[in-house]
Chain A
């Protein structure tokens, strides 16, 4: 082959290869906006990928798949290629041949749809003349560049007075309203622009927030050092839900460790787990119990009622044991119901008096009283979709319960389904030994 022919061939191969990769990138991006495709991808992801990359894609033994850091390439076609080929040396098998092309593409589409954070993030640093200098002009630009990890790095400046801006495409959750939260934010002159419009600062003086749009947007954040102390300028920017209870994703380098610290998953794999923690969507003073069958419930010691049941793994207690422990633990599975829906005694004018629990084969038996009447409740997991609530009553007292009105659950007593339209005040007759078994079965979707 002569030199010209060789160069032409290489050029052609590279060009066509790039073209087809670009096409595929576009196809996958389009699919990531198609709920049908992402739903299929989610199902496969949760079956196959979640064991290493975590159900919420935040990473475990495998990498975090929703942040801005792509160790093996960020392009959708590259991600697809990596899913197909795997990285055996790192313990990830290839899935080409396991799934068909459309299935593999749906997995990638799902991963893309869950993207959070900046992409192609750049920064510009301007040196200012003094703490009062607010005149940011092109001649004061001293440094600029790209931040490959997708996190605003507020430790870049090595000058005393400065203005720094971070800018790039940004992905916020599509199914949740979120905001940027600046931790300990009071003295800082931070400004946020979404799609070139300045966002009004919300929250409170020490806890300022800026609303994000859902999904993809262009995000610019600027910061002027002003008179703030040198050791307080490495800002902590975190994406949160609107009531600040869940810290979702980091936007700055210093926030990364803080968000990562909020992950500590407890899973009932071999034995029953019992945890008293603050839990999102459950009232204070709740004891939660997780079964290896991947069903969990919460028993509230103030009301002696079951205030939640969820299916899946137990809890991420990280938010409640990191830092000062301000944030609630997060159930790892799907709710069947939670407070205010609850399974409770229908007893008028009687305060519950909780007495404690005793472990029987590792399973808690809760004891309590209403007035002089004594009760115990223990829960048994029949299967991954069915729980028995076993009450022990005194004598032959008919148990009157209010059951949660939830479409996902069928309630049975003595092998008879309870009327789903009439679950409040259900009367359940005990056996001769004073036992009442109420079975909750998850309906197949």
Chain B
């Protein structure tokens, strides 16, 4: 979700830097991209309702549950809408719990909502936790919850903006009270400040293995949007939330060097290139449909509020740490995509809002879904690091004639961590591709190129074709090369 402040709220001192940044800024793909076999279906939302879908989940019966920014909870069953709960404070997350009750993250509180008399309408609104400070600042969003395998819940707490009482070192601030934190609610129901240094952490997701990941939006101290594995007691880069960590004061935080802060910071599993892929990503959603949604099973699908698109994340473990790549999947959605959810039928539902932060899609709000008709697309399927480059596989057989060094291009860069609002691509350079080999399966390439850790490697493959002459709808992939394979170091 684009709960970030964009170019209009720039600190004055960085105007010059930003001017040069925008002069060289990358562009989002202008064409419509969409794998063959996939289409967007628009769901009619209730008439006269401001239906900004910012909480989205589905249950085992395929019923879709949504929380709206207006403050209501609805469910969609047999193509009909039913209002379940109302009067909440700008909820931005919803989880259907195993007992059928709902967990909704409204700004001041994580709330469990249930229907005790089974009349189809909620009548019990119980607090789960509210142990953070909420100061009525518009940017103090509360995202989540998600649940790990042990049954612990997790949520994230956005920093504030333009709050005169807040401690700031850039655009966003915290007056204290766990703003910029991820929290856990353990099985005993206790609130645990879990990790800190978050900025606008608009999306949380649990992997099939039960690990929790979150996305954060580009801005001050976040050079481009990113996705992290959430780990206990770790720092994720935005310094102001350190005010709530023992041993720090506002003064001592300001004295810290950039190097100190950077070394303390967790490394994202992927960097998400600004504008080209996303400005304001939502929740990571794993494709657990076992093929019902097509060939991308096990991969992660994330919506972007500004770009009105969906992109994929492909992770692998390198030396015991996650890293991987991002690639655009589909664009031209009607509004800002903030929530993604696979239902039991293998459909990808997309919750949307564009209020306050504009989106490429011109509708103010809505709900759409992506469906697959069973036909085989021709797209990049996966990318894995090798000792000498990357092994890149496709969803359909490649035309051997199109496989050549000349039909591939690569470049690399890194980002500059600072209080500035985003970072340009630093040390951007073209990488020479020394060899490309098509493997026996006909779908996979081994690409040899120089590897330098700490870089984002972009590979362009617009020249590749499948056997029937199709080009891919998306022709760039971005790999976050945190580490090389151990044997290659």
Residues of A bordering B, CB below 8 Å? 184, 186, 205-206, 273-278, 284-285, 287, 301-302, 321-326, 328, 354-359, 364
Contact = CB atoms under 8 A, between A and B. Distances in A.
Which of B12, B86, B88, B136 has the largest count of A CB atoms less than 10 A from its CB? Answer: B136
B127 A355 contact: yes
B138 interface: yes
Given A276-B88, A356-B124, A324 B138 contact: yes
B71 A354 contact: no
4 tightest Cβ-Cβ pairs between the two chains A and B: A324-B356, A356-B126, A276-B89, A274-B87
B127 A354 contact: yes
B108 A284 contact: yes
B70 interface: yes
Interface in B83-109: 86-90, 106-109
Contacts of B138: 278, 324-326
7 contacts: A274-B87, A278-B136, A285-B108, A322-B355, A325-B69, A325-B356, A358-B116
Interface of A is mostly: loop
Nearest to B140: A284
Contacts of B90: 321, 325
A358 B71 CA distance: 17
A325 B69 CA distance: 10
Contacts of B108: 276, 284-285, 301
B86 A274 contact: yes
Contacts of A277: 71, 89
A273 B86 CA distance: 9
A284 B136 contact: yes
Nearest to B139: A324
Given A278-B89, A323-B356, A356-B126, 12 more contacts: A273-B87, A274-B87, A275-B71, A277-B71, A284-B108, A321-B50, A321-B70, A325-B90, A354-B130, A355-B126, A358-B116, A358-B123
B256 interface: no
A285 B124 contact: no
B488 interface: no
Nearest to A364: B125
A284 B130 CA distance: 12
B10 to A, nearest CB: 9
Contacts of A205: 12
Nearest to B106: A276
B413 interface: no
B357 interface: yes
Nearest to B87: A274
Which of B12, B112, B356 has the largest count of A CB atoms less than 10 A from its CB? Answer: B356
Interface string B1-45: 000000011001000000000000000000000000000000000
Interface string B354-368: 011100000000000
B111 interface: yes
Nearest to A284: B136
B214 interface: no
B152 interface: no
Contacts of B355: 321-325
Contacts of A328: 136
Interface string B162-179: 100000000000000000
A356 B125 contact: yes
B135 interface: yes
Nearest to A326: B138
B25 to A, nearest CB: 15
A25 B150 CA distance: 77
A276 B113 CA distance: 14
A419 B216 CA distance: 56
A186 B86 contact: no
Contacts of B126: 355-356
A273 B89 CA distance: 14
Nearest to A261: B355
B135 A284 contact: yes
A326 B138 CA distance: 5
A415 to B, nearest CB: 32
A364 to B, nearest CB: 8
B134 A285 contact: yes
B131 to A, nearest CB: 11
Contacts of A275: 71, 87
A328 B88 CA distance: 15
Contacts of A326: 138, 162
Nearest to A367: B126
Given A276-B87, A356-B111, A324 B357 contact: yes
A275 B70 CA distance: 10
A273 B87 CA distance: 8
B48 to A, nearest CB: 12
B87 A285 contact: no
B109 A285 contact: yes
B49 to A, nearest CB: 12
A354 B128 CA distance: 10
A364 B122 CA distance: 12
B123 to A, nearest CB: 4
A357 B88 CA distance: 13
Which of B116, B138, B162 has the largest count of A CB atoms less than 10 A from its CB? Answer: B138
A287 B125 CA distance: 12
A357 B87 CA distance: 12
Contacts of A357: 124-125
Nearest to A187: B15
A186 B357 contact: no
Contacts of B116: 358
Contact of B134 (A184, A284, A364): A284
B136 A276 contact: no
Nearest to B69: A321
Contacts of B134: 284-285
A325 B137 CA distance: 9
A312 to B, nearest CB: 19
A297 to B, nearest CB: 14
Nearest to B111: A356
Nearest to A362: B123
A377 B136 CA distance: 24
Contacts of A356: 111-112, 124-127
A287 B86 CA distance: 12
A143 B123 CA distance: 63
Contacts of B135: 284
A359 B123 contact: yes
A328 B135 CA distance: 12
A267 to B, nearest CB: 14
Nearest to A323: B356
Contacts of B69: 321, 325
A234 B12 CA distance: 21
Nearest to A204: B162
Contacts of B123: 358-359
A174 to B, nearest CB: 29
A206 B136 contact: no
